[in-house]
Structure 1
Amino acid sequence: MFKFSFKFMFFFTLFFGTLVSISSMSWLSIWMGLEINLLSFIPLINNKKNIFLSESSIKYFLIQAMASAMFLFLIIMFFFMVSMDLNKSYLLMMNVLFSSLMILKMGAAPFHFWFPSISEGMNWTNNLILMTWQKIAPMMILSYTMNFNFLIFIVICSTMVGGLGGLNQTSLRKLMAFSSINHMGWMISSMMLNENLWMMYFIFYLILLMNIFILMNVFNIYYMNQTFMMMFSNKYFKIIFFLLLLSLGGLPPFLGFFPKWMIMELLISNNMFMLMFFMILFSLITLFFYIRITYTAFILNNKKMNWTLKNNSNSMKYKTLMIFSIFMNFSLLLINLIFI
């Protein structure tokens, strides 16, 4: 009972810190919200019995604390520059520095060096929070200090690093971390043009990632060689997992293609053809390593495992999960038939 109330309290303050940041009217309140969020997430990922979780929590705290300290220093410098009525070039430099700190906090390229290693030390639940909820506040603050040319550079870097970085990974947690970096490039590009489109993309990404992480957590899958011997004794779970990964990669006609399609239309209408070309190119690379996971799972059969897998495929709640995943993946087909 005490353990449950402890986690519930920190989950509440985790969500509360983000809400404070995105609803604040002053930079100091934004900084306070980010600190509440950080200090709530550390106890959730820290575990004395698991050295990898403890290492990840220390790394995460150091990176985020450094970024928060620099953010507070830049706030003070910004008010000093405004009061001194300095040249606009200095204010532009401050704008880029603000954006860089938010990109560091969310783990987008080229400030992504900490993200895969921290993701490797966490379980799937903590990874889900790290790759979804922890991005909201930095993304919203990034939209306040938007520098168009700088963000185009960030989008290209994020999609490129996210696509190429996952090619040589055997750990599924690192692979999903690089996939998250690639998706951050798409989110930033949508945020530059239409904030509502960014929110829609984030919701679709959250739904798909939640389905995938629940399946991998249920069957205790962390490395690619565990998929060789067939992580699911039920063949229907294999198919659903395969379709979820294809949807996350943005392959039509699945759910994940719909927000990418909207972003591509918006980029075309704004004559940003080269940016769209790079984003599509590196998204195809991410789709390649998604297919590589499922291809080996379907074709190869390796009896060697890292640890014993759970056989939960006959449980009623997992059958319900499978039906829900089918519904979410094929809902885009109904959207196409009704509205297009």
Structure 2
Amino acid sequence: MFKFSFKLLFFFTLFFGTLVSISSMSWLSIWMGLEINLLSFIPLINNKKNIFLSESSIKYFLIQAMASAIFLFFIILFFLMSSIKFNENYLMFMNMMFSSLMILKMGAAPFHFWFPSISEGLNWMNNLILMTWQKVAPMMILSYTMNFHYLTSIIFCSVLVGGLGGLNQTSLRKLMAFSSINHMGWMISSMMFNENLWLMYFLFYFFLLMNIFILMNMYNVYYINQTFMMLFSNKYMKIIFFLLLFSLGGLPPFLGFYPKWIIMELLISNNMFMLLFFMILFSLITLFFYMRITYAAFILSNKKMNWLMKNNLNKMNLKIFMFFSIFMNFALLLINLIFI
């Protein structure tokens, strides 16, 4: 009866910690919210029976604890020296340090070294939390310390690493991690101009990623060569999987292109043509390795293969998932057309 009650508790404190951080009026309470969030996520991903989950939880704790310790040090330093009249260089240094620590916490480039390896050790549902909710608080705190030139270099590094890093990957979890790094570049660029635009992009990214991760979790797929078993088992799931991946990549006819289109217009109106060129270029590279996942279904047309594993999934669950996926995509588009 109480087997999963502790998970419910830690899920509550996980969301509570993020809400504390984004609604706080002082740096110290922001730090407290980040710590509550960190200490709630560790028990959710830790598992004594799985050595990979335990290794990922230790890595995640060390990285986040180091960033939180440095963050607390600079908060105390800032409070102790608050009576001194600062020059412009000191304030810029503190601004860049706070921004860098938040970028380290969310796993954006060039501080992304921990993100793909930790993602590789987690299951799909934990990866969904890591790639979505765990980025909300650092991203909002980053908006408090907005440094235009510094964030422009972060955007360039993120789209570069996210595009090129996924080219040589066979693990779907690492591939989605590099894809997340690329999307963080787009999120930061949207936050530089409008927080409502960032929220819209994040909601699109969250629901598309949730549908893809639920589908991969249902079929227990973790590597590209395992997509043979998933893609040929159900033709309707194959079509939904294609549409979700292409939408996540931002292919123009699909829903995922809509927030990118608005960001492109904003960058053009602000004469940031070079940055936009590189963002589009490396997004096309991410679209290439999304297509590589579905490559098997395009090339191999026979779905009755001798080595294909039997599909034990409930057909009713598949129909519910298909309806939910289509409904959420249309609902997102309708909400943004009305309110954005």
- Shorter-chain TM range is over 0.9
RMSD: 2.2
- Give me the whole-angstrom Cα distance separating, in 1, the residues matched to 2:287 and 2:100: 28
Letter in structure 2 aligned against 1:208:
L
Q: With the length of structure 2 as denominator, give the TM-score of the two structures.
A: 0.94
Structure 2 partner of 1:326:
326
State the SS of the aligned residue for 1:112: coil
CA contact (8 A) 1:46 1:54 kept: yes
CA contact (8 A) 2:110 2:157 kept: yes
Letter in structure 1 aligned against 2:233:
S
Given the superposition, is the C-alpha separation of residues 303 and 94 from structure 1 closer, same or farther in structure 2, using an over 3 Å criterion? farther
- Give me the whole-angstrom Cα distance separating, in 1, the residues matched to 2:217 and 2:11: 19
Structure 2: give runs of 5+ residues left out of the alignment. none
Structure 1 partner of 2:86:
86
2:239 equivalent to 1:202: no
Tell me by how many angstroms 1:179 deviates.
0.3
Tell me by how many angstroms 1:232 deviates.
4.7
- Give me the whole-angstrom Cα distance separating, in 2, the residues matched to 1:27 and 1:116: 29
Query: Mapping of 1:1-340 within 5 angstroms?
Result: 1-300=1-300, 310-312=311-313, 314-329=314-329
- Give me the whole-angstrom Cα distance separating, in 2, the residues matched to 1:45 and 1:262: 36
Letter in structure 2 aligned against 1:213:
F
Letter in structure 1 aligned against 2:62:
L
CA contact (8 A) 1:78 1:91 kept: no
State the SS of the aligned residue for 1:113: coil
CA contact (8 A) 2:107 2:114 kept: yes
Structure 1: give runs of 5+ residues left out of the alignment. none
Tell me by how many angstroms 1:82 deviates.
2.9
State the SS of the aligned residue for 1:266: helix
Moved more, 319-328 or 269-278: 319-328
Moved more, 327-336 or 123-132: 327-336
CA contact (8 A) 1:255 1:331 kept: no
% identical aligned pairs: 82
For these two proteins, the number of residue pairs brought into alignment is 336
- Give me the whole-angstrom Cα distance separating, in 2, the residues matched to 1:261 and 1:92: 32
Given the superposition, is the C-alpha separation of residues 30 and 303 from structure 1 closer, same or farther in structure 2, using an over 3 Å criterion? farther
- Give me the whole-angstrom Cα distance separating, in 2, the residues matched to 1:40 and 1:332: 29
State the SS of the aligned residue for 1:83: coil
Q: With the length of structure 1 as denominator, give the TM-score of the two structures.
A: 0.94
- Give me the whole-angstrom Cα distance separating, in 2, the residues matched to 1:333 and 1:80: 48
State the SS of the aligned residue for 2:154: helix
Given the superposition, is the C-alpha separation of residues 132 and 332 from structure 1 closer, same or farther in structure 2, using an over 3 Å criterion? closer
CA contact (8 A) 2:231 2:237 kept: no
What is the CA deviation profile of residues 68-90 of structure 1, one whole-angstrom value per residue up to 9, with x for unaligned ones? 00000010112233322132201
Tell me by how many angstroms 1:309 deviates.
7.0
CA contact (8 A) 2:211 2:325 kept: yes
State the SS of the aligned residue for 1:2: coil
Moved more, 296-305 or 327-336: 327-336
- Give me the whole-angstrom Cα distance separating, in 2, the residues matched to 1:238 and 1:202: 25
Tell me by how many angstroms 1:295 deviates.
1.5
